[in-house]
Amino acid sequence: MSEHGQLTQRIDELGRKISKLEGIDRDGTLATLTKELKAVQQKIDQNDEDIRADERRKTALETQISTERAEFERERKKLDESSPLRSIIEKSERIRSVIEALVPALFPLKVKELAASMTQVYKRLAHKDQVSRIVIGNDGTSQILGKSGKPITFDRSAGENQIFATALIAGLAKVSGINAPLVVDTPLGRLDSRHRHNILQFWTSDEARQVILLSQDKEIDEEFHRRITKHVSKTYLLEHTDVGDGVGRTSAREDSYFQEAAE
């Protein structure tokens, strides 16, 4: 096709497009679309303005919140300074939180320390040379291990159970770090003479520890009493008197013991 023909074809296409646009304009379609477009644009502009207004209100509220928070902190500080009790309570709460966090970590260490203290006391009191150490699990169960490192399985007598309990009490007293008096009821009950000597010597050997022994007359007899006399600060003899009808009365005789009372 020649250049003239191409131009003629292009002119015809443009003519058809112009006619089409003129037809749209004549039936009002173009005007309607233009009006709708303008309305949509106005709505978009209004939404943008609303968003900007909301942003301004948000900024104002954030500023107000910051101001109120600062005022609250100032007033709280004044209250704390004027109320020592509140400050003490808050410090106590912080200390409690620290303790709660430390207990799980310290518990296994204290269990090992208790086991070591029990082992030391148990070896002093018992006469079983095969005992190496006592171990305590985190669940509180305990085992006596032999020199091979294996648990020793034997039927403990009542006396051996008492020795184990004595080692536990002494271990707890040491681990706690509290220098409080220890009250031991029937300390030598169901023990043979060798164990009696060991336990009695243990309870009376530490001058810095106050121990109150509640003994029966046949338990710490005259011989054992003579051995510990130099370690005894005070004695009381408890005497029970029946006043009738199942009613009794107990009195304490100061600086007296069974043998002295019998003389």
Is residue 184, in this structure, part of any structural domain at all? yes
Higher pLDDT, 11 or 203: 203
Question: 64 is in which domain, residue-wise?
Answer: 3-68
d(CA 258, CA 263): 9
Of 120, 151, 171, which one is at a domain's C-terminal end? Answer: 171
In a shared domain, residues 165 and 184: no
Average pLDDT, the chain: 79
In a shared domain, residues 196 and 150: no
Among the listed residues 218, 215, 205, the one whose alpha carbon sits nearest the alpha carbon of residue 184: 215
H helix runs in 27-83, sequence order:
29-82
In a shared domain, residues 247 and 197: yes
pLDDT value of position 253 = 86
Is residue 93, in this structure, part of any structural domain at all? no
The answer to whether residues 251 and 238 touch, using CB atoms and an 8 Å cutoff, is yes
Is residue 205, in this structure, part of any structural domain at all? yes
Report whether pLDDT(152) > 60: yes
pLDDT more than 70, % of the chain: 81
Summarize the confidence of residues 119-123 as an average pLDDT: 89
Is residue 87, in this structure, part of any structural domain at all? no
How many whole angstroms from its chain centre is CA 110? Answer: 14
d(CA 106, CA 100): 10
Q: Helix or strand or coil: residue 25?
A: helix
> Sorting pLDDT into bands at 50, 70 and 90, what band is 16?
low
pLDDT-wise least confident of 23-32, 60-69, 89-98, 171-180: 23-32
Summarize the confidence of residues 81-100 as an average pLDDT: 77
Task: Indicate the residue type of 61.
Answer: L
Most confident of 6-15, 45-54, 76-85, 251-260: 45-54
Q: Is the pTM of this model over 0.75?
A: no
Tracing tokens 């007899």 back to the chain, one arrives at 221
Task: Indicate the residue type of 8.
Answer: T
Report whether pLDDT(6) > 70: no
In a shared domain, residues 150 and 111: yes
In a shared domain, residues 154 and 186: no
Report whether pLDDT(192) > 70: yes
Report whether pLDDT(201) > 60: yes
Number of folded domains that form the chain = 3
pLDDT more than 90, % of the chain: 2
